[in-house]
Amino acid sequence: MKWAYPFPRFKSLLYCTKVSILSQFYNCNSYIVSMESGVSGKKASHPSSQQFISVITPLLDLEKETGESSIGVSQERVTEDAEKYELEFHDSPIEQVRLTVPITDDPTQPALTFRTWVLGLASCVLLAFVNQFLGYRTNPLKISSVSAQIATLPLGKLMAATLPTKPIRVPFTKWSFSMNPGPFTLKEHVLITIFATSGSSGVDAVSIITVVKAFYHRSIHPVAAYLLVLSTQMLGYGWAGIFRRFLVDSPFMWWPENLVQVSLFKAFHEKEKRPKGGYTRMQFFFLVFVASFAYYTLPGYLFQAISTISFVCLIWNDSIMAQQIGSGMNGIGIGSFGLDWNTVAAFLGSPLAVPGFAIINMLIGFMLDIYVLIPLAYWSNLYDAKRFPLISSHTFDSTGATYNVTRVLNPRTFDIDLDSYNNYSKIYLSITFAFEYGLSFATLTATISHVVLFHGDMILQTWRKTTRAPKEQLGDVHTRIMKRNYEQVPEWWFVTILILMVAVALVACECFGKQLQLPWWGILLSLTIALVFTLPIGVIQATTNIKTGLNVISELIIGYIYPGKPLANVVFKIYGHDSVLQALAFLSDFKLGHYMKIPPKSMFIAQLVGTVVASSVYFATSWWLLTSIENICDETLLPKGSPWTCPGDDVFYNASIIWGVVGPQRMFAKDGVYPGMNWFFLIGLLAPIPVWLLSCKFPNHKWIQLINIPIIAAGASNIPPARSVNYITWGTVGIFFNFYVYRKFKAWWVRHTYILSAALDAGVAFMSMILYFTLQSNGIFGPAWWGLDADHCPLAKCPTAAGVYAEGCPLL
């Protein structure tokens, strides 16, 4: 057996050679672990610390020029760790995890301290308020938890240097605590970031309140609204508790996005010596952060045109077809690109955190949809596509005008008036928006089929192991460390929250005059759907960092069962879709705590409290704005230049029209315009089968197993609101770093890639806040010149059918 690869913590580790879903064997010298049987093989005596060091010395010698390893741990520390601990082997089957995540832990390090509560709750409240406040504005800005992660580090160290260390006794109890238990620790910092993540994640249920009050102009009881918000956010804990053994404990569920956070925490807290001619990871982070911060003044304010550059439009500035082909914002984006990190990461997230194979699958789906399917459908005038814009999220009537929902909605009963509907028009969508729904159907069924075929045996084996095998023999080194060092969260904690929140949801919908329209059976049905789909969707997200959801299928199901009820439709969707999203967010945070060795009960408490606090702040902020700003969200009645246009809630409102008021029966059945979209259900279900058969027929061709039909189907399903230029720049950056740099400069990739991603995000976020609060909030949006407008393709939004009028477009 050869020592083949450096381990993240000790500078050298064994590389385990064969990994598959059905059987995994890790041969680490004489240490053999069979993941298939769930039983550890006999382990020969560990090599002594000196033997271990003698093995890795050549690797250390290779790094003497820089004085650092690829992860910044000194040789003295390697010696100390090897002598201090019984040697653990990093047997994670995922190379990126082996390269990034340390395998040591100090269980005595304080975690849930006074500093954690103060900084964590402050971050949670501030981010929740700011994100909801900015979310209603024309140019919404989302502040991520990375901002709090950076800001709280010096504050934590300041508190450690200044607060008194004397214990404080809680009156009438035996409890006591210290405001300053010692140096500010990594574990405190992680939990503070978990609090901040709760505040920055958003609450989709607030959109229901906004739609009711600002778009439909109806009243809703504040208690019912608050219970709706709270229950949708908290129900995810139940699913998280049920599936954590599969999606957290399993080493194959590695949650790629978390490695960015792991790298950033290591850069902030691990001491390292500056390499000769180079930078420490902390120095590298701040250099990139300052550069990103300064550069964003150009695409964010002074020269916004570089965020989307469409050469075709600059050449053919009077041709609708040319601009539809070349526009990166409202067309298929041929020849379009951007020089703005916000363009790269705004809708699809950082490509640096996405595995290379997932990027390729996404781009295949994007190109098949945008460059093949959409052009064929549009220019053949399928579904009268030429009467409407090529890409739009709005709804239209048969004349090409925006659909007037007030003409078909009964104001007294708040459901559809069929006579008015029959006398007005069917509802139409842009061809891209229509196929977005079709692809969503395919993604849903493909997810089920793919997970059953490719991961079914692994899930069954994991279930058997958790019930039969000794706990310490499950998972990889991180799971063993966590189970050895910390008490796990009892299952009944999750079950209790689940039962309580189901009761709260029933109260919200059945009481208060049944304002939310959804009956009790609708809640139970939505939660059943969430229970069924949490695991397959979680497997896709945990292995690829690609997020799918249940929003469309939820709207479809309740739209057929309970048609003509717009609020019932969106409430059903939120309970089904959002509870899954919240469960996966909790599980992702659990995995981060798993990697960073955070006590599970401390992690649970931080998530629970953070969720309750964030939900309350989001609700209070939205209620305040909706009741204090006259005509909020109504562009026709707002003063000219008012920023309170609620663009995100406008999309939510249009979805309530499509699925709630009109309903899928009049959209996707024989009486509707788009019955052909139902074939995508069958296509998605069958498409993974030939890929699976080929992978079984040719097991040595590993690339076949990397073909992921759910990701391909979801490739362009974010358009709109995402645009072609977002996919083009995202894919280009992702391929460069996760293929070229990863293969040619792996040491650099290991050391810098995830830190680079975090620094670029943070620089854009901080400069965005400064520009917003100092200039844009006062109506100052940049100098009036050619470079202020992005894309320069105004005709790309025009219909191309004869006789259809649209503002700013020539009449053909």
CB crowding 423-448: b at 16 or more within 10 Å, else e = ebbbbbbbbbbbbbbbbbbbbbbbbb
pLDDT at position 714 is 85
Burial class of residue 683, CB neighbours in 10 A (0-12, 13-18, 19+):
middle
Residues 156 and 49 in one domain: no
- Amino acid letter, 460: L
H/E element holding 259?
helix 258-269
**pLDDT of 432 above 70:** yes
1 closest CA partner among 33, 41, 30, 25: 30
pLDDT at position 85 is 43
3-state DSSP call for residue 366? helix
Residues 185 and 83 in one domain: no
Rounded to 5°, the CA angle 656-659-662 comes to 100
Residues 648 and 528 in one domain: yes
3-state DSSP call for residue 323? helix
Residue 185 within any structural domain of the chain: yes
pLDDT at position 606 is 94
Residue found under tokens 């999220």: 393
Check residues 779 and 325 and name the one with the higher pLDDT: 325
Residues 87 and 135 in one domain: no
pLDDT at position 462 is 62
Rounded Cα distance, 91 and 461, in Å = 18
3-state DSSP call for residue 537? helix
Residue 736 within any structural domain of the chain: no
Residue 622 within any structural domain of the chain: yes
Residues 527 and 657 in one domain: yes
pLDDT at position 474 is 54
Rounded Cα distance, 554 and 260, in Å = 32
How much of the chain exceeds pLDDT 90, in percent?
A: 26
Name the pLDDT band for 308 (thresholds 50, 70, 90): confident
Rounded Cα distance, 133 and 154, in Å = 27
Residues 122 and 62 in one domain: no
Residues 73 and 189 in one domain: no
**pLDDT of 467 above 70:** no
Residues 65 and 198 in one domain: no
C-alpha pair distances (Å), 242 with each of 15, 238, 471, 722, 809: 32, 6, 17, 33, 54
pLDDT at position 89 is 60
Cβ 681 vs Cβ 417: under 8 Å: no
C-alpha pair distances (Å), 573 with each of 21, 204, 518, 672: 33, 10, 11, 21
3-state DSSP call for residue 402? strand
Residue 697 within any structural domain of the chain: no
Write down how long the chain is.
Answer: 812
Residue 160 within any structural domain of the chain: yes
Residue 372 within any structural domain of the chain: no
CA dihedral 187, 193, 196, 198 (to 10 degrees): -80
pLDDT at position 521 is 94
Count of H-run helices and E-run strands, the chain: 34, 10
* Mean per-residue pLDDT, 278-285: 80
Rounded Cα distance, 449 and 447, in Å = 6
284 closest CA partner among 261, 269, 303, 267: 267
Residues 54 and 128 in one domain: no
- Between 356-360, 611-615, 640-644, 792-796, the lowest mean confidence (pLDDT) is in 640-644
Residue 519 within any structural domain of the chain: yes
How much of the chain exceeds pLDDT 70, in percent?
A: 86
- Between 107-121, 188-202, 673-687, 789-803, the lowest mean confidence (pLDDT) is in 789-803
pLDDT digits (tens, 9 = 90+) for 713-751: 888 877 877 889 989 999 999 999 989 998 888 888 888
3-state DSSP call for residue 786? helix
Q: Could you tell me the residue range of the domain that residue 54 belongs to?
A: 18-91
Residues 63 and 183 in one domain: no
- Between 381-385, 590-594, 635-639, the lowest mean confidence (pLDDT) is in 635-639
pLDDT digits (tens, 9 = 90+) for 595-653: 999 999 999 999 999 999 999 999 999 998 898 888 888 877 877 667 788 877 887 88
pLDDT digits (tens, 9 = 90+) for 114-153: 999 999 999 999 889 888 887 887 656 677 787 788 888 8
Locate all alpha helices (DSSP H) within 63-162, ordered by sequence.
75-84, 95-100, 114-135, 145-162
Residues 651 and 564 in one domain: yes
pLDDT at position 75 is 41
Residue 148 within any structural domain of the chain: yes
Residues 194 and 142 in one domain: yes
Tokens of 125: 């409240």
Q: 593: which residues sit within 8 A by CB, 6+ positions away?
A: 190, 194, 600, 603
pLDDT at position 138 is 65
Rounded Cα distance, 491 and 245, in Å = 11
Check residues 18 and 719 and name the one with the higher pLDDT: 719
pLDDT at position 245 is 83
Cβ 519 vs Cβ 509: under 8 Å: yes
C-alpha pair distances (Å), 539 with each of 423, 445, 525, 585, 683: 47, 14, 22, 13, 21
- Amino acid letter, 613: V
What are the residues facing 474 on neighbouring strands? Answer: none
Final residue in a domain of this structure, among 28, 56, 91:
91
* Mean per-residue pLDDT, 694-700: 88
Task: Work out how many domains the chain is built from and give that number.
Answer: 2
